[in-house]
């Protein structure tokens, strides 16, 4: 958070204008027209579980665990019957696995008892499931149901602040501004493009501005140059 506060002080909370925002997303779209999540899954249920497990963990570590887990327990019934103790043996390499195992089992039970094994298609219902916060709900709605939601994780939060797409001191502020600022035709894929940019180029401590496709429009980079 200290790094983000420093970033905010540099860019002085100055957001891009609409024309620049459109140029940013058009550039990212040309590089990757149909981006998808890097989490591996074969059903909406598996996506939900993978996203729950991905909180404060890397997609790579989650994929490594679920590649084995989903082979033996890829449905609500099978995962619930696996039980919390056995589930932990599959996800113990993922951060916060004790709490996640408990939430996953509870979620499976609710899905079977209340939703006939189907995944809810609205944010409020999703957020009532154990382990599902707003970001997780947004990711599921976007990837599984094609809704133009924007899941703000650490990458989206950082990149949005640095570029000047949507500055804010917390993820809710950033999400609210992104929904307002991102042109409608780019919203469906917006958070994918920003995640990819943050994960591989706009790194937390050493952003690789030299390879950034949208550095020309970046408020952070321009302000850093002015301060040098």
| Torsion sign, CA atoms 27, 31, 36, 37 | negative
Number of H helices, E strands in the chain: 13, 0
**Residues in Cβ contact with 202 at an 8 Å cutoff, skipping those fewer than 6 apart:** 155, 158, 159, 162, 163, 208, 212
Q: Cα dist. 98→86, 102, 177, 206 in Å?
A: 11, 7, 34, 32
Question: Looking at residue 220, what is its pLDDT?
Answer: 77
Helices of type H across 75-206 = 76-82, 84-91, 97-114, 123-127, 134-145, 154-163, 171-181, 187-200
DSSP string, 93-130: TSTTHHHHHHHHHHHHHHHHHHSTTPPPSSHHHHHTST
- Taking the chain (228 residues) in runs of 10, the rounded mean pLDDT of each run is 46 72 97 96 98 95 98 97 97 96 98 97 97 97 97 96 94 96 97 97 94 91 49
Report the phi/psi class of residue 164: left, alpha or beta, with left for phi > 0 and alpha for psi in -120 to 50: left
Strand, helix or coil at 167? coil
Task: Tell me whether residue 92 is one of the annotated catalytic residues.
Answer: no
- Intra-chain end-to-end CA distance of the chain, in Å: 23
**What is the CATH code for 2-36+149-227?**
1.10.1670.10
Task: Tell me whether residue 153 is one of the annotated catalytic residues.
Answer: yes
Q: Which of 20, 100, 153, 177 is catalytic?
A: 153
Question: Looking at residue 9, what is its pLDDT?
Answer: 46
CA distance 210 to 204: 15
Domain ranges of the chain: 2-36+149-227, 44-145
Max Cα separation, the chain? 60
Question: Looking at residue 228, what is its pLDDT?
Answer: 40
On the question of a common fold for 2-36+149-227 and 44-145, the answer reads no
Question: Looking at residue 79, what is its pLDDT?
Answer: 98
Question: Which one, of 206, 187, 76, lies nearest residue 138 by Cα?
Answer: 187
Question: In this structure, which topology does domain 44-145 adopt according to CATH?
Answer: Endonuclease III; domain 1 (1.10.340)
Q: Which of 100, 135, 177, 223 is catalytic?
A: 135
CA distance 109 to 107: 5
Question: Which one, of 1, 134, 107, lies nearest residue 45 by Cα?
Answer: 107
Question: Looking at residue 226, what is its pLDDT?
Answer: 45
């Amino acid at each position: 958070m200290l790094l983000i506060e420093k970033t905010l002080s540099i860019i002085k909370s100055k957001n891009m204008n609409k024309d620049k925002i459109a140029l940013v997303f058009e550039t990212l779209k040309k590089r990757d027209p149909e981006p998808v999540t890097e989490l591996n899954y074969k059903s909406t249920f598996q996506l939900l579980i993978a996203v729950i497990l991905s909180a404060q963990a890397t997609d790579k570590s989650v994929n490594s665990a679920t590649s084995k887990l989903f082979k033996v327990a890829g449905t609500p019934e099978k995962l619930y019957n696996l039980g919390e103790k056995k589930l932990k043996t599959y996800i113990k390499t993922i951060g916060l696995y004790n709490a996640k195992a408990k939430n996953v089992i509870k979620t499976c039970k609710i899905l079977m008892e209340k939703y006939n094994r189907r995944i809810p298609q609205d944010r409020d219902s999703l957020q009532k499931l154990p382990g599902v916060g707003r970001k997780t709900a947004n990711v599921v709605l976007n990837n599984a149901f094609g809704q133009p939601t924007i899941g703000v994780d650490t990458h989206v939060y950082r990149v949005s602040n640095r570029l000047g797409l949507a500055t804010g001191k917390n993820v809710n502020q950033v999400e609210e501004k992104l929904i307002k600022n991102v042109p409608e035709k780019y919203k469906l894929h917006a958070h994918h493009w920003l995640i990819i940019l943050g994960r591989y180029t706009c790194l937390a401590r050493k952003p690789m501005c030299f390879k950034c496709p949208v550095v020309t429009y970046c408020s952070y980079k321009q302000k850093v140059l002015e301060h040098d």
